[in-house]
Structure 1
Amino acid sequence: MSKETSLNAEIRPGAGKSNVKKVISAGKIPSVIYGLGEDPINISLDKILIQKEISAGGFLTRIFSLNIDGKKNLAIPREVQFDPLSDQPIHVDFLRLAPDSKITLDIPTHFINEETSPGIKRGGVLNVNRRTIQLSCPANNIPEEIVFDLDGLEIGDTIRISSVTLPEGVVPLITDRDFTVASVAAPTVVKEPETPVEDEGEGEGEGEGEGEGEGEGEGEGEGEGEGEGEGEG
C-alpha cells in the first residue's frame, strides 16, 4: 500500500509572478492545496525534497501529510508542472483528502514469474493491454501497483482483472465486464524471402555454345590458308 509521507510546507503570500520568483530563488517550489470545500492555500515546498519524491516514482499515486502552520493536511498530488528547458518541477497541485475519501487513480500494472510460465519459456510473448488500471481507491488504502502472476500460464492464456485480488475497498471503474489486462501470445515468425538460384543447366549450355563456335572458326581459317597456297604454286 502507498505509504503516507510527511512534508513541511510554508504559506506563501500571493500568487503573482514576483512572489513566485522569490519562492523559486529561495530554493522552494510554489504549490497549492485545495479541496474538501475549503479555500485553496498557496504554499511552498523544499525543492530538493520534492525532486527526491518525484524521482522515487509513483508520485501522483502517493499520499502526503503536509504540515502547514502546525496543522496536518492529508493530500495527494494531482498535477506537476515542469520547466520545458531544465525539466525541473516548478509547481505542484495537491488535493485535500479526508481519511475516508475515495479517489480515482491510474494504478500501474506489474507482472511477475515470467520465468515459470511454460508458454513464455517456449517462446510465447507477453502482450500487455493495460499498463495502468483506473481504480477507485480509499485514501488510506491506495495500492502502489497491481501485481499479476504469470506462473503456469500457457500460450493462448488470458489475464483478466478477475485474475487478481484487489485490496479492500479498491474497485475498477470498469464494472460491466471482466476486461483483459494481458495475454500470452504465440511467437511471430518472420519468413525471410528466398534468394533465387541460377539454373545450372542454363550455365552449362552457354559454355558449350561458346566452345563450339570457336572450333568452327578455327576450321574455316585452316581451309582458307591451304587453298591460297596451292593457287600460287
Structure 2
Amino acid sequence: MEKVNIAAESREGIGVKGALSKIRAEKKVPAVIYGGHKEPVSVTVTVKDLDKIVKAGKNTLVEIALGKENELALVKEIQYHAVTDNPIHADFQRVSMKDKMDVIVPLKLEGTPADVANYGAIIEHIMREIEVRALVSAIPHEIVLDITPMTINKGIVAGEVKLPEGVELLTDPEAPVVHLMIPKEEEAPAPVAADAAAAQPESSSTKGKKDEEGNLTKNAAAAPAKDAAKK
C-alpha cells in the first residue's frame, strides 16, 4: 500500500483568540490525531502536505513525524472553507498494520455496455462508494467496476462487485450499484380542432342567463298585445 510521509507540529494556544488565523496565515492547517487507545493530539500540518495526501488518493496510509515519534494514520476528514475552498481542519485516525478497519471506498465505472449504442440506454450510477473491511495494508484507494457486460435487463448489485483479495464487503449485497435506463419518449400533445371551442357545452351560469333573457323578451312582446286588447 502506498504511504505518504508528512511532518506535524504540536499545536499550542488552543482557544486563544486569533491563534487559528495565525496558523492559516502561515499556510498551515489545524488538525487532530486520535484513536489507537491513545490520547488525541492537536497538531498543525502544512497545506502542501495535505495536498500531497489528497493527490495520493482516498484511504492513503500516512506516516506522521511528530517530534521523536511517528504515527501511522488514515485521513478521516478534511474540512474546507465554504467560499475559498481552502482546507481549514483535518482529522487523522491512528491505525495498526495488524488490525482490520472498516472504510468507505469509491467505485469507479469502466467500459460501455452495448445497449447504450443499441437502444440509447443511459447509465445510472446509483452507489458511488461501498463500505469494506480489510487490513490497513490491503485497503484499496478505489475499486474499478467493469460494466461492459451489463444489459438493460440486468444491473449490478453490491454483492457482484469484484473485491481485491483480503477485502470483505460490508455494504448490503443486494443494494443496487448501477443499471441502464431507457429514456421515455415524450408524447406529442393531441391536436385541438378549430371548432373545439364552439363545441364546448354551455355552462350552467351562461345557460341561465340566456333563459332569463329569453323570458324577458317573451314577456316584453306579450305586454303590448294585452294593452291593445284592453283598449
TM bracket, shorter-chain basis? 0.7 to 0.9
Matches within 5 A, 1:142-157: 142-157=139-154
State how far apart, in whole Å, the 2-side matches of 1:38 and 1:8 are: 19
Output the amino acid matched with 1:88: N
2:83 paired residue number: 85
- The 3-state SS of whatever aligns with 2:12 is coil
- The 3-state SS of whatever aligns with 1:174 is coil
- The answer (yes or no) to whether the contact 1:148–1:163 under 8 Å persists in 2 is no
Q: TM-score, structure 2 length as denominator? A: 0.73
Q: 1:71 to 1:192 in 2, by over 3 A?
A: farther
RMSD (Å), alpha carbons: 2.4
Matches within 5 A, 1:171-182: 171-174=168-171, 177-182=173-178
- The answer (yes or no) to whether the contact 1:156–1:186 under 8 Å persists in 2 is no
Q: Does 1:119 align with 2:115?
A: yes
2:157 paired residue number: 160
Of the three residues 138, 143, 147, the one matched with 1:141 is: 138
- The 3-state SS of whatever aligns with 1:120 is helix
**Runs of 5+ in structure 2 lacking a partner?**
196-231
Q: TM-score, structure 1 length as denominator? A: 0.73
State the shift of 1:58 in Å: 4.1
Q: Percent identity?
A: 26
State how far apart, in whole Å, the 1-side matches of 2:124 and 2:29 are: 40
**Runs of 5+ in structure 1 lacking a partner?**
200-233
Deviations 1:132-179 (A, max 9, x none): 11222321111122221122322211212233321223222235x433
2:21 paired residue number: 21
State the shift of 1:7 in Å: 0.9
